[in-house]
Amino acid sequence: MRILLTNDDGIEAEGLRHLVNWAKTKGEVCVFAPKTQQSAKSHSIEIHQAYEVRRSDLFDGIEAYSVNSTPADCVRIALLGMKKKFDLAISGINRGPNLGGDIHYSGTVGACFEAAMSGVKALAVSAAFLSFDNAVKNLDRVFAEITARKMFDYADILNVNFPEEGDEILVTRMGPTIYSDEFEFLPDGSAKPGLVCLYGGTRNLELDTDATMTGHISITPLGCDLTNAAALEAIKRR
Measure the CA–CA gap between 79 and 40, rounded to whole angstroms: 22
Helix 14-23 with 133-148: angle, nearest 10 deg? 40
Cβ neighbour number for residue 195 with a 10 Å cutoff: 11
pLDDT of residue 189: 84
Q: How far is residue 66's CA from residue 49's CA, in Å, rounded to a whole number?
A: 17
For the chain, what percent of residues have pLDDT higher than 90?
A: 88
CB neighbours of residue 163 within 10 Å:
21
Please state the pTM of the whole predicted model. 0.94
Mean pLDDT of 3-22: 98
pLDDT number for residue 109: 98
Look at 30-34, 118-122, 190-194 and tell me which has the smallest mean pLDDT. 190-194
Query: The dihedral of CA 188, 191, 195, 200: what is its sign?
Result: positive
* Helical ranges in the chain per DSSP H: 14-23, 71-76, 107-117, 133-148, 208-213, 229-237
- CATH superfamily membership of 2-172+205-237: Survival protein SurE-like phosphatase/nucleotidase (3.40.1210.10)
Domain ranges for the chain, please list them.
Answer: 2-172+205-237
pLDDT beyond 90 at 193? no
Kindly state the average pLDDT of the residues 6-23. 98
CA end-to-end span of the chain: 48
pLDDT in tens, 136-191: 999 999 999 999 999 999 999 999 999 999 999 999 999 988 777 788 888 988 88
Task: Give the Å distances, CA to CA, from 77 to 51, 66, 73, 81, 129.
Answer: 11, 11, 6, 4, 29
